[in-house]
Each structure stands twice: as structure tokens, then as C-alpha cells.
Amino acid sequence: MSINFTTATIKDFENIPECNMAQRAEIFYEYLDFVESNGHMNYRLKNTSGTNAILNVNIANQNREFVSFVSSDYLGFTQHPKVKQAAIEGIEKYGTGTGATPLIGGYFDYHNALEKRISSFFHRTEDEAVVFTTGYTANSATLQCLMQKEDLAILDMAVHASVYEGCAFTNKKTFPHNNLDALEHILKTSENLYRTKLVIVDGVYSQDGDTSHINEIYDLVKKYNAFLMVDDVHGVGILGETGRGTLEQADLLDKVDIITGTFSKTFGNLGGYVITDKKIAAFVRFQSRQQIFSATAPPSSAGIVKAIDLIDEEPIWRQKLWDNINYFKNGLDSLGLDTGITCSAIVPVKIGDPYLTGDVGRILIEKGIYTNPILYPAVPRKDARIRMSVTARHEKEHLDKTLNAFDDINKKLHIAKK
């Protein structure tokens, strides 16, 4: 068999029916060589400095300085002195790890404090939170224990991969992104057929940076006696009057059945959370395999509580972020580039052709701009783009350098929308 490497993406090597695992790996290794030889390997580069607007990256055994758009540390809290100090104090008090799962001795008072603080942050004082070691696991583990073969998960097609993994053992139906008619059709035709119907959407979608039609979705969910889960990892700290995300923006903070999120983006650390009714939370604690068999978050997560506090204590970071978002997006739009319908800190430049997108990523690297070309299956095959995350740590000079680079690339490769 043969695969055209020029048009291929990573997904094409996921399973090659006639090849065993070693053969598949060999073909994929050849593909990686091809990608690297064409300068399209903007993935798994070795960073040699902390996450920031400027990132040191080792390429071809040389350390170079780049303007970075690859981090979702939107408010720059990974580098905030108060957050780092709180993490250091956690390590000094407890050590570097927990040595056990939550169920059998790995649950500490700082985990409890974090659960209480994140639920109170969303004004869910009657509900409870469960913390996980990653945001990915918060979704996948929670869904795997709540949704079984008698139930139905109804997914916006653009939800995160962790949601799809969590629904692997239940019935699943998907509807086109933000298509309310399709969602209602599924809800209507599945009435009385399943024990539990759970609609799952993102608050902000990770590739286009647009928001869910959350108010209309909530009304449909309640009309058809279903439940609603919202993963707002890219909205928290950014959207809403006080940074509580899309649910605050929609006045639904206290109404959604399940809120999930991560500590690895706005809160500048590692971990995930689920906030829900205290009885469901108790069920997750004792039924989720990750809560039973996986070690819990390390003491450095004590810094997360300080990061949560800073959302209210230092709103200047959110204002700086929005100044940067508006400046950068306006600059890209003025060049005629297609930034889609983003209304968040995620700013795509849509190009379409995957190979051309790889060329754009290569030239950006040459010009000292570190971005990620996003290809299928993260987006449709003909909707490849350069995806960038704007942060509060970016300065105008960083954004101007990037805009100038895109201007030069457009003159050479003609990537502007027609």
C-alpha cells in the first residue's frame, strides 16, 4: 500500500488495516521524515525556557528566541510571582508528589481547598467539585462513569477529543456545530428511548475560537428533559463580566448541570475539574476509574488557588489580554486574512490547503514566530489553518512583528481571502 505524504495528515496513519503495529510505525516514521525535510515540523519542538510571549526553542541543536503563540496561558499566570510562590510553598510543605490515588490516601487538604475554591469561583456553593490530574481526564473519566449503554450522549461535533473518548462506551449522536435544528431533532426523536440524555458542548471552541449558542441550547435541553454539560476551558478568565466565562456571559452559571474545565490554561498549572450536584460529585469520586487508580495532583497545585484569586484581584490582566486580542485581530483583518468568527483569545488564520498551511508555518518559524499549523482531524481537511493563542504577556512589538511576517507571507504565497 502507499500513502501520498503530500496530502496526508497524522490521522491517515491511525490504522492501516493490512499493516501490523511495527509496519504502521515504520510508514509513519517515513512520513515524519518527509514532514521534517519540508520544514513543516512545528510540533513537539523542544522548549528551553518557561511559557511566555517570548519562548526559547531548540531547533537543529540551536537555541533560538521566538515570539510564541502556542500556549493557552492566556493571562500569563504561569509566570506570575504570586502563583509561583504559592506553588513553591506547596512543595516546601508537602514535597513533590502525593504517592497515592485520591481513594486510598492521596487526597490532601490542598485538594479539598482547591475543590471548594473552584466551585465558589463559579458561585456553585450548593454543588461540589472533583479535581483530576488533567482537564482531559476530567472530561473522559467523568463521562465514562456517568454514561453507560442505557444512556445517550449528544455532542456538538466540534467538542474536544476528551469528550469523544469519554463517550466511547455509551450511545452517541452528534449534531453539526451550533446547529440548533439538528440538536432539537435528536432530542425529539430520542425521547423516552434512553435512561439519561446528556447534551455536551464547549463554551469556547478550541479551533475557531467561537462560542456555543448556549442560551438556546439550554432552553432546548430543558424542553426535552435532558441534562447539559459545558466544557469552558477557553472561556474562563477571558469572557464574562468578571471572567467566569461563557456561562457568566449567558447568565447560566447556576443552571448548567455539569461544568468542566482545566487548570492548565487561564490558571497556569495542571489539572482539571468537574462541578456538579453534590450527589453526582460523590458518585464520580467513588466510581471514576481515574479517581480510584490514578495518582492525584502534586502539591505545586496549591498555586492554582492563588491563580483563581487573581482573576478578581488583578483584572488588569484580562483587560491587557483583550487589548492584545483586538489589536492583533484587527491587524490580521486589515491584511485581508481570514480569521473566521473568533470572539476569544484563539485567533486562527484560515488557509485551507494543508500543504500550503505547512509552508506558512515553516516561514513563520524562519521569521522567529512560533505557531502551530492545524490540520485534519482537528479541523476538516480543506479548512487547515494557523492557530494562535494571544496572551496578556504579548506586547505590541511582538504582535507587530507577527503582523509584518504575515504581510510578507501573503505577498509571497497569496493566502488572503479572495
> How is 73-122 classified by DSSP, letter by letter?
-TT-GGG-HHHHHHHHHHHHHH-S---S-GGGT---HHHHHHHHHHHHHT
Q: How far apart are the C-alpha atoms of 319 and 123, rounded to whole Å?
A: 22
Residue 309: burial class (beta carbons within 10 Å; 0-12, 13-18, 19+): middle
Residue 44, sorted as left (phi over 0), alpha (psi -120 to 50) or beta, turns out to be left
- Predicted local confidence at residue 417, as pLDDT: 83
Cell 487508580 belongs to residue: 293
Per residue in 195-229, pLDDT (tens digit) is 999 999 999 999 999 999 999 999 999 999 999 99
The amino acid that residue 12 corresponds to is D
Q: How far apart are the C-alpha atoms of 122 and 400, rounded to whole Å?
A: 36
Backbone angles phi, psi at 407, to 5 degrees: -60, -45
Pairwise pLDDT comparison (330 vs 10), residue with the higher score: 330
Is the entire prediction scored with pTM above 0.85?
yes
Q: How far apart are the first and last CA of the chain?
A: 38
Q: 3-class SS at 273?
A: strand
- Predicted local confidence at residue 60, as pLDDT: 83
Could you please report the per-residue DSSP string of 178-215?
A: T-HHHHHHHHHHTTTT-S-EEEEEESB-TTT--B--HH
The CATH code of domain 39-68+339-413 reads: 3.90.1150.10
What is the residue extent of each domain of the chain? 39-68+339-413, 78-312
- Predicted local confidence at residue 196, as pLDDT: 97
Per residue in 319-366, pLDDT (tens digit) is 999 999 999 999 999 999 999 999 999 999 999 999 999 999 999 999
- Predicted local confidence at residue 9, as pLDDT: 85
Average pLDDT for the chain: 95
Please tell me what DSSP assigns to residue 30.
H
CATH 3.40.640.10 fits 78-312, yes or no: yes
CATH fold match for the domains 39-68+339-413 and 78-312: no
